Structure 1
Amino acid sequence: MLETILTDGLTPEEENARLRAVVLALMDRSERAQSSGRPMGQLSHVVALEQQIRTRTRDLAETLDRLRVANARLSQAERDAVNARNNLADALEAMGEGFAMFDATDTLTMWNSRFCADLPDVRRRIGPGLSFRDYVRIVSDSPALNLPDMQARQRWVAQRMDSHRKRDVNFIVPLVEDHWLQVSEQRMASGGTAVTQTDVTGMVRNERIEHAKLLDEQAQMVRATLDHIDQGVMIFDAKARLAGWNRRLRELFSPPVDLLATGTPFTALLNNLMRRRQLGRGNIRAALTDWVNGPPFRPPLTLEIVQDEGSVLELTAQAMPDRGFVMSFTDMTKERRAIAEMHRLNETLEARVRARTVELESARDEAERANATKSRFVASASHDLLQPLNAAKLFLASLSAMDQQPAQARLTERITSAFGSVEQILGALLDISKFDIGAARAKPETLALAPLLDRLREEFTPVAQARGLQLRVMPCRAHVTSDQIYLKRILQNLLSNAIRYTDRGRVTLGVRRRGGVLRIEVWDTGPGIPEDKQTDIFKEFTRLDPTGSDGGMGLGLAIVEQACALLHHPLTLRSVLGRGTMFSVTVPKVSAPADDPTARPAPEPRGALDDLLVLVVENDADVRSAMMGVLEDWGASPIEATTLSEAQTQIAELGVPPDVILADYQLDGGETGLALIGALRAQYGPLPAVLITANHSPDLITQAEDSGILLLTKPLGLRRLRRLLQQVPLYARDGDGAGAQPAARGDHSYWLRDPAHED
C-alpha cells in the first residue's frame, strides 16, 4: 500500500504532506472506533493500529532515506553535466578553427566564437535553433563572400546544399580582400553534422609564390633548352611582338642587337632579314605576312629558303593557343648536299646497272636461242628417229615369228628390248623438248576415268607380274576435266616408276574424293625416297640408283612435273623410308555428260573456301581486320588472335583445330609466327601454315622451308593466297596422320609439308 501512496518524482515536502494526511485519517478512524460500546475490542484495535502506524512510519523513513540519496546523486550528475558542457565549451573555444554542430534535424545546437568570425554579419545572426538551410542562405547573402553576382551566389547555394548530402566533404570558400576559408563537413553517428572552418589564406598565398617560382624555373629551363637545340627559334606573342629567341638564331642571321629585344614587331625583323637577303629571294615576304595575319587556328607553315651563298634553311611556323606563334629555322645544307651526291651516285650506278643489264640480257638471249635450237634439234631428231625405229620393230616382230634357234631367239629378244628402251628414251626426249620450247599444248576436256584406269590395268599388270608384284587398280566412275593424252602419260610414268623401284609387295592406283576435286594416287611398297632427294628426283636425268639395269634414264618424273604444271594439276609426293612412296595428282571433278548412260546425279561441289576454318594471327589491328574481311568475302570462316595463348584459347573454345594457319612473323612480346606455328603443330598435329612477313632474310626463308611452312612476303598477293588456300581441302590429312610431302619447289603442295610426320 505504501508503494501506491509514495510516488516517484515528488519532492520531500509533498511526500511529508501526503504522510500527514494519512496519519490524520488513521487517528480519525481510531477515534470513531472508540465510540462503540466494546472497550476490549477497541483496545485491541488501537494496538493493531499502532503497530501498523509504526510499520508505515519505518517504511516512510526508509523511503525518505532513498529519496535523499537519489537527490544527492541527481545533484552530482547535474553538476557533472554542467562541468562537462563547460569543458566542451572551453575546448571548442580553445580550437584555432571555427566549429559548429547541427543535430539530426539540421538544427544548430552548439558553436564556438570563431565560427563565422570572418563573416561578421553572419556571426551576429547565429543562434540556437538556426536551420542549416537558413545558415547557408545567410552566408550566401554576406558581402564578405567573394562572388561576382547574384546568379553566382545562387549557384553557390545549390552546390553547398548538394555537397551537404555527402558524408564527408571539403571545399574552399573565397572571401574578399584575398582571404580564403576551408570548410569541412563530417557526418556523425547520431545523424548530426560537424562543421569546421579553417583560415587557409596563408597557405593559398604561399602556394601562389611557389607556383610563381616554378614558372620562373620552367622559363629558365625552356631558355636553356632553346639555347642548346640546333634550330634557330623566335617566339612572338599574340600581337606579333618578339617575346623570346635563342643563341642559334643569332648564329644563323646575325641580326642587329637592338632588334633582338622583347617587344620588337615581327614586321621590323622581317624587313631587316629581307633587306640583308637572309631569307633568299622569291615570295617569302608575302607568304610569311599572309600566314602571320591569318586566323588564330591556322595550319603550320613550312618553307625552304635558299640563301645567296648556297645555304639551305627550312622555316617552320606554328601557331600557339594564346594566339602567339613560333618560328624555327633548321640548317639543311649538309642534308641537301648529301641527297644531291646520293642522286649523282644513283644516276652513275643506274647507268652501270643498265649497261650490265644489257650485257646480261644479251647473254641470256644467246643462251635461250642456243637452248631453243637444241630443243628444236632434239624434237626434230627424235621425231625422225622414231620412224625407222618403228620399221625396225616391225622387222623384229616378223623375225620373232619365224622358227629360230634358241640362241637366235634370245638375241632377237634382247634386240627388241634394246629398241624398246631407245623408243622410250626418244619419246621422253621428245616430250622434254616440247616443254622446253613451249610447244606443248594441252586440250582440257571432260573425260571418264573408268576407261583410262582399265587401259592402265591391262597395260601394267603383265609388267608387275613379271617382277613378282601385285598391281591393284581401284575402279572409279567419276569424270574429270583434263587432257586425256597428258593425263595418261603422267599416270603411265608414275606406275612405271613405282613398278621399277619396288622389289616386293604391291603397287596401287586409286582415286580419292576431296570436295570438288579428285586426287589420283599411286602407292608402292618400295624402299622410299630420302627427304634430301625428294626435290632432286624431278630433275632431268636424275636417278636414285644409277647402277640399276632397269632404272631408266631419269626423265619420267621430270615429264610428270612439267605435264602437271601444264595442266594445272597439283602434284604431291609423300614417302617414308622402308615403307614406300605415294605420288598423287589432283584433277578437277565434273558432272557426267548428259549423254553418258553411266552418269549419276551428284550434289553440287562445295566452294573451294566454303567453311574453311582459317586461324589469322596478326598483332596489327588494322591488318588483322582487313585480312578477316577478305577471308569472309571468299567464304572462309576465319578466327583471329594476336598471341599463342589467344590462339590456343580460340581453338579450345571451338573444339576443333583450324584447317590452315595464316601467321605474321613479328608478333608482340618477342613472339614470332614461326614459333607459334611450331607450338600449335606440336599440340594439334601437322596443320597447313603460311608465314607472312616483310623480312626477306635468306635464313628466315630457310627456316620456313625446313619447317614445311610457305613464306609469303609483304605486300601480300591476294590471288596467290587464295590459290594456296584452295589447296587446303585437297591436301587434308589422311586417316594415318601422315603429312603431305612436296613434289618440288614451285608446286602448290610444297608448303603443306610437315617433316615431323614423315615416318
Structure 2
Amino acid sequence: MPGSLINPTDTPDRQIEKLVKINAALMRRVEQATDASGAAYAQFERAALLEEEVRNRTRDLERALDLLNDSNARLAEANRATEEARSNLANAIETVQEGFALFDPDERLVMCNSRFGLHMPDIRDRFRPGITFRQYVDLVSGSRYLSLPENKTPRDWAAQRIRRHKDDHVIFNVRMVGSRWVQVSEHRTPDGGTVILQTDVSDIMRLERQERDRMLDDQARLIRATLEHLDQGVCIFDNQGRLAGWNQRVGEMLSIPARRFSMGVRFFSLFEGFARNSSYSSGITEDTIRAWINATDSRPPIGFEIRQGENKTLSVHAQEMPDRGFVISFSDVSAERAAVRAIRQANELLEARVAERTLELADALSEAERANASKSRFVAAASHDLLQPLSAAKLYMASIEPGQDPSQTHQIADKARRSLDSVETILEALLDISTLDSGKAEVHRAPVPLGVILAQLAEELAPTARAKGLDLRVIPSSAMVLSDATYLRRIAQNLIVNAIRYTRKGKIVVGVRRRGKSVRLEVWDTGPGIAAEQRDIIFREFQRLDAAASAAEGMGLGLAIVDRACALLGHPLDLVSTVGRGSGFLVELLLAPTPDFTSFRRTSGPALTPSGLDGLIVLLVENDAELRNALTIAMEAWDVCVLPVASIAEALALIDDEGIQPDAVIADLQLDRGEMGTVLLNMIRTRVGPVPSCIITASRSPAVIDICVQQGWAVFHKPIAAETLRGFLSGATPRTS
C-alpha cells in the first residue's frame, strides 16, 4: 500500500524477512555516513528506535496470530459439536416410535421424522422444512386417508384444528380409513414453538371397543336378569316406539302370548286387542295414550289404572327416557283395591254402628255436662271457702297491735291459727278430690296393719276430741287387711274427723269387727243422725247437713273423699243412722296375712299427757332452716328438749359421739345431697333400739306410706298441724337414767 514498506497481505514470516532487510540497510547507511554535523548519529538513533518499534509490532502480531489460531480452533470444534448434536437429534427423533414434528415460533416446520404423517401416504412427502402450520393443516384436512365425522367437511375440520391450535396443550384422536386411529398431542415449547406427536392407538381403541361391547352385553344381561326378578311387568320402547326390552311378568299379567313379544314390534301392534278387553280409570282413553306416545315435545310421566273383569286391577305408569324412548310398568293392585273396597264396606258398617251408639253418646255427653257443671260449682265453692278463712286470718292478724293485752293477743292468734288450719284442711281435701276424679290415682294394694293406722289416728285426733269434751275410743286390733295404706288411712281419718266435727256431746267409738275372710271398720258416733232422704246427699262434695256451719267446721269434702276412695279400692261403704241418736259408717276390708311388727312403746317411765311433755328429748332432722326453727320453737313451747340438726352426719354425731339417746325422732324424708330420712331412722334403730319416729314430707306417694307403715313410723304431710305433732309426741316416753 502507498507510504508503507510492509505489505499487510504478506504472511508474518514474509513481513519479518522484510523488516530484517530494512534494518540491515539502515545500519549500513549509518555506518557509511561521514557528516560532521552529527546527521549520521541521528540516523542511527532513528534506526534504533525503529528497530524497537518493529520488535513490539512483531510481538503484537505474534499474539494476534496466536489468538486467531485459537479462535479458529474453537470455531472448528463448535462446528463439529453442532453437526454432531444435529446428527444425534436427528437420530434420536428418528428412533421415536411416534411421528414427530417441530415448528419454530414463526409457525414454520423445522424438522420431522420419517414416521410423521405415516398414516397419510398421499401427503407425507410434502411435509418438508419451511412449510407453515396452516399449510400442514390444509394438507391433513384434504388427505383421502382422513375419515371425517358425519356431516363435517374438510374445511370445517381444518377450522376446528386451527382453533384447538391456540391452546398450549392439545390431545385428541383422529380416525383414519381402515379403522385406524391416530392420537395427536400438541405442546408449546418455551420459545413459542410447537411440538406435534402422532401415536397409533388403533389397538387400544379396538380393545376399548371390545371392552365396551362386552360391558354392554353384561349390562344387557344384568338388565334382563333384573327385569325378570321384578314383581312388576315392564316394557321398554325406543324413540321410534319399537319394543327394545321386556320381562316375562308383563305377558303373564296382561295375558299376551309370548310369541307376540319380539324386538322391534310396535307398541300398538303388541297391545292390539288388549284395550278392548279392559276399562281405563276416569279421564284416560286409548286416544290419550296414543297422543302421549306420539308427542314430539317433552312427555310428562303418566299413570292410570286398568280394570279387567271383576277382580283384576292393574296400575300402569309410563315415563320418558333421556333418548325419548319410554318405559311402561304394570303393577297388580287387585289386593289393594279389594282391601279398599273392604274398608269402604267396613266404614259403612261402622257408620251404622255409630248411628246406633249416638243415643248412648248423647247420654254420656249429658253426664259429662253435668260433671262439668259440678266441677264448676266445685271450683267456685272451693275458691269461696279458701278465701273466707284466709280473709279471716288476715283480719285477725291485722287486729293485733303493739301493747295489746297478752290474753287478747293470744285469743286473736289462736283464731288466726284455726283459720289457717281450715285453709290447710281445704287444700288437702281439694288435692284428694282432684286426684280421685282425675282417674290417675295410684293404687298400691298390699298388706296393711289396720291397728297401727288406727292407733296413730287416735294419738293425732285425741286432743281435738278432748277439746270438744268428747270421748274418743279406738279399740286395738291386730287385723292385717289388703288395701292401699295411703287411701285407707285417709278413709279412716276422714270418718273419725267427720264424727268429731258433727258430734256435739257423747263419744266416738272406732273398732274392727271380723266377718269371715274380711273385717269391717266401724266408726260410731252420738251425733244428730242422718235422715234417710239425706244419706245420698252427704257423700257429695260441699254438702253439709248443718248449713250454718263455718268453713272451720268442715266443707263437706271429707265424706266425698271417703266415697271416692272406697270405690277406687273396691271397699264396700255402708251407713247406719238414727236421727237424734247417732250414725255409724261401715267399711268392709279383705283380710291379708299378718306380718310381725315390733311395738315402739317404751315400757319404762310414766306416759306423758298432751299437756305435759317436759323432759322429752326429740331429735329433729330437717335441712330447711326455716321449718327447722319453726318446729323447734313449737316443741320448746311444750317444754320439749329439741336437738335440731340438718343432716344424717350431724344426727349420728350426737348419738355416737355425745352419747345422746333421743326419746323420739322427727326426720324429713328428703335431706340435702340425696340423703333420705328413712335411712337415718334405720341407722338409729340399729344403734339405740326402737324409738318412736315419724317422717315429715310433702310427697303423697303410696310407696312412701307403705314403707313407713311397714316400719311402724308415723307420716306427717307438710304443712304439719301442731296438734298432729303434739299428739305424736304424747305417745313417747322419756328415758330413765
Greater relative CO (CA pairs within 8 A, separation 6+) = 2
**Rg (Cα) greater in structure:** 2
Class of the TM-score when normalised by the shorter of the 2 chains:
0.3 to 0.5
- TM normalised by structure 2 equals 0.46
- TM normalised by structure 1 equals 0.45
